[in-house]
Structure 1
Amino acid sequence: MERKTIIQKRFINQRLAETTWLSSPEEVVFHFGAMQSQNYGQSLWAVGSRLITPNEQTVKQAIDEGEIIRTWLLRGTIHLFSARDYHWLMDLIAPRIDKICKPYRTKLGLTEDILSKSTEVVKTLVAEHAITRKDLALNLAKHDLPSSGIPFAQLLVYLSSRKIICSGADETFRNTIHIPAPEYTYTREEALKELAKRYIQSHAPATLKDFCFWSGLTVTDAKIALEDFTKEGDFYLSSTIEKSSPVHTVPLAGFDEWIIGYIDRSIVLPEEWHEAIITKNGIFRPAIISAGQVVDKWEKPKKKAELTGDYWNRYIQFRNML
């Protein structure tokens, strides 16, 4: 498949084309299944750039009110996903996260006894109200439990995967009681296929390796998940009807799905920009794409005057810098 065709189809499926923008943050996240949210501030724009009316406060509100969940998910990294999808996604992915993290927890000295005590302490802390990361750490320290560094970070991943905590307002942690009960209980195979459906409808054309990387699933599970989709060469295709749309210039968020959603990024990330956009320690910097390919990087501006070019208009609206 030609590079130009891949970019055109992805631009539509990734909801970056004007004709495909969505009306609410939850709709955007639901379409993707999950969106990388390693950097909270940047992930707000990742969602906002795909809205009909981009507004930073609208995205924040959807997270603060629990319509969108922010916690550890695919590949054990932080993602945004719809509260409607919380239970089946966590049930599918959490065992995979646990398998990856368990040996690491053992090396860090996070015994079952420590994990059990930590769980009870945190359950009590978040029973009635959300709590900041700092206060959570302080309270764990009072009980001589992990409260800093990598052991604390791993404890948070553990608590998230056990559905003890998830995101609260203003980047706090709260309990998961407010999350609606699932309307339907998926079998494991159904969950695999639903995850593949979301990935293909939002990322296609994409390969098996792309999906394995994005989802963190094994090749065996990924093949089961993708078995009903049409292929052209190595690329799985979306079944949605696509209309031609201009691939205009867009300032992308850091960790945007346009780049991070694939293991092979050479189609959209030229070699000369690779080190500038992806750091050695795995940080994905904000990038500007033109005709679908990275042509520059950018940093969060403090003033509207720093932004020149019509392609900044939607970001200016998003940040309320008018």
Structure 2
Amino acid sequence: MVVLDDRALNRASLARQLLLEPAELAPHDAVAHLCGLQAQEPQEPFVGLWSRLRAFDPAELSELLTERRVVRTHLMRRTIHLLTAPDVLAWRTRHEAMLLQRVLGVYRRELAGVDLDELAAAGREVLAGGEPQSMADLGRAVAPRWPGTSSRALGETLVGALIPVAQLPPRGLWRTGGAARYLPISTWLGHEVEPESPGDEAGRELVRRYLAAFGPAATADIRAWSGLAGLPGAVKAVREELVSFRDERGRELLDLPDAPRPDPDVPAPVRFLPAFDNAVLGYHDRSRVIDDEHRGLSVAGERVVLVDGRVAGTWRCADGTVSIAPLHRLSRRDRTEVLERGGALASFLSDGNSDRARVE
């Protein structure tokens, strides 16, 4: 079996993640290809798409949200993701058990004695009026039925697991603040989420789509990205469609036969990634992108800089200046490219009023 080293896996991942060269895609198509963008920090998806697309106007993504063609919702790993409306409708039911399990992992004690079916019905009753609700407001509205139970636990269980909800604009629009307010996905999109699919077609499609955007990958990587433990059956069902490799650690890696696997020596340009970007978080073994000693950065919400395809620093923007903190000494050539790309990012974030970047 062919062994793919970390550099080969790195270049394949960069290509799938639209980070090897700018993609000629519309924002909607990019969000679909990437299986969504991690979005608990509302402004981060804009940087994620700016780093991936040849020509990206942030107003286009805001328009997709207001037109209800993309949706903010809890899904993979029970984190807020920005996904296309068709993917939300197709995938939400497949994630239902995981969402509930993760909520109960936090609030099981507080919810002792609460009938979850009754709680879901009470939440739907509050939302039936069509008035968007914050998580706190929804929890307070149903709390009288369960005196002594934390309203926060009730509200988070409703929006995080029991009721498929969309997080509404203006939250998530470009340079626009706003509290997180929710309506049922069925109300917001005018369609019910799809029921459990025969033969777990939703699970099989998740495997295919993940490999298209992240492969080659192990089943543990698929689980780490999605949060779903129950995908071995889906992997088994599509295995004959796939090709196999091994990594340097001996793990079996699966992939789509015709997916891009570039030459490991192809140059990788500097890229600035937003907080919690799935290009890093979307794997159990992240060594193809980040050294193990820096792995904690990917879960701490640090924005990272890729140099030669690997995490080589963190970045922040304040007062119109993008500041880069390298994790190791940069060559003169890499430093120049980091500053050039950092200046372009500063211009994007400031509407062209600044192009300042500095290496700390």
Q: What TM-score results when the alignment is normalised by the length of structure 1?
A: 0.82
Of the structure 1 ranges 196-205 and 184-193, higher mean CA displacement relative to structure 2 is found in: 184-193
Q: Is the 8 A contact 2:93 2:194 kept in 1?
A: no
Structure having the higher helix fraction is 1
Q: Is the 8 A contact 1:196 1:225 kept in 2?
A: no
- Deviation at residue 193 of structure 1 after TM alignment: 1.5
Q: Using the alignment, how far apart are the partners of 1:23 and 1:317 within structure 2?
A: 21
Q: Is the 8 A contact 1:189 1:225 kept in 2?
A: no
Structure 2 equivalent of residue 212 of structure 1: 223
- Deviation at residue 147 of structure 1 after TM alignment: 6.6
Q: Is the 8 A contact 2:94 2:202 kept in 1?
A: yes
**Counterpart among 143, 167, 173 of residue 182 in structure 2:** 173
* Residue-by-residue CA offset, 1:266-309 (whole Å, 9 max, x unaligned): 2221244334x14xxx4331111101111111123331475871
Q: Using the alignment, how far apart are the partners of 1:140 and 1:315 within structure 2?
A: 45
Higher relative CO (Cα under 8 Å, sequence separation at least 6) belongs to: 1
- RMSD of the TM alignment (CA)? 3.2
Q: Using the alignment, how far apart are the partners of 1:189 and 1:29 within structure 2?
A: 23
**Counterpart among 80, 83, 103 of residue 81 in structure 1:** 83
- Deviation at residue 70 of structure 1 after TM alignment: 1.4
- Deviation at residue 200 of structure 1 after TM alignment: 0.5
Structure 1 equivalent of residue 249 of structure 2: none
Structure 2 equivalent of residue 221 of structure 1: 233
Q: Using the alignment, how far apart are the partners of 2:138 and 2:193 within structure 1?
A: 32
**Structure 1: which amino acid aligns with 2:243?**
T
1:228-307 matches, within 5 Å, as 228-233=241-246, 234-238=252-256, 239-241=258-260, 246-275=267-296, 277-278=297-298, 282-304=299-321
Q: Using the alignment, how far apart are the partners of 1:126 and 1:311 within structure 2?
A: 48
Indicate how the Cα distance of structure 1 residues 52 and 181 shifts in structure 2: closer, same or farther if over 3 A, else same: farther
Q: How many residue pairs align between the two structures?
A: 314
Q: Is the 8 A contact 1:122 1:136 kept in 2?
A: no
- Deviation at residue 124 of structure 1 after TM alignment: 3.4
**Counterpart among 204, 209, 217 of residue 193 in structure 1:** 204
Structure 2 equivalent of residue 6 of structure 1: 9
Q: Using the alignment, how far apart are the partners of 1:73 and 1:170 within structure 2?
A: 20
Q: Using the alignment, how far apart are the partners of 2:237 and 2:154 within structure 1?
A: 34
Q: Using the alignment, how far apart are the partners of 1:248 and 1:195 within structure 2?
A: 29
Q: 5+ residue gaps in structure 2?
A: 172-180, 247-251, 325-337, 353-360
**Structure 2: which amino acid aligns with 1:321?**
D
Q: Using the alignment, how far apart are the partners of 2:30 and 2:113 within structure 1?
A: 39
Q: Secondary structure at the match of 1:107?
A: coil
Q: Is the 8 A contact 2:65 2:71 kept in 1?
A: yes
Indicate how the Cα distance of structure 1 residues 150 and 181 shifts in structure 2: closer, same or farther if over 3 A, else same: closer
Q: Using the alignment, how far apart are the partners of 2:169 and 2:22 within structure 1?
A: 32
Structure having the higher strand fraction is 2
Q: Using the alignment, how far apart are the partners of 1:74 and 1:318 within structure 2?
A: 29
Q: Secondary structure at the match of 1:18?
A: coil
- Deviation at residue 198 of structure 1 after TM alignment: 1.1
Indicate how the Cα distance of structure 1 residues 183 and 290 shifts in structure 2: closer, same or farther if over 3 A, else same: same
Q: Is the 8 A contact 1:67 1:83 kept in 2?
A: yes
Q: 5+ residue gaps in structure 1?
A: none
1:124-143 matches, within 5 Å, as 124-125=126-127, 127-133=129-135, 135-136=137-138, 139-140=141-142
Q: Using the alignment, how far apart are the partners of 1:63 and 1:110 within structure 2?
A: 37
Q: Is the 8 A contact 2:122 2:142 kept in 1?
A: no
Q: What TM-score results when the alignment is normalised by the length of structure 2?
A: 0.75
Indicate how the Cα distance of structure 1 residues 131 and 149 shifts in structure 2: closer, same or farther if over 3 A, else same: closer
* Residue-by-residue CA offset, 1:73-125 (whole Å, 9 max, x unaligned): 12222222110112220121113323444465442126444763564355434
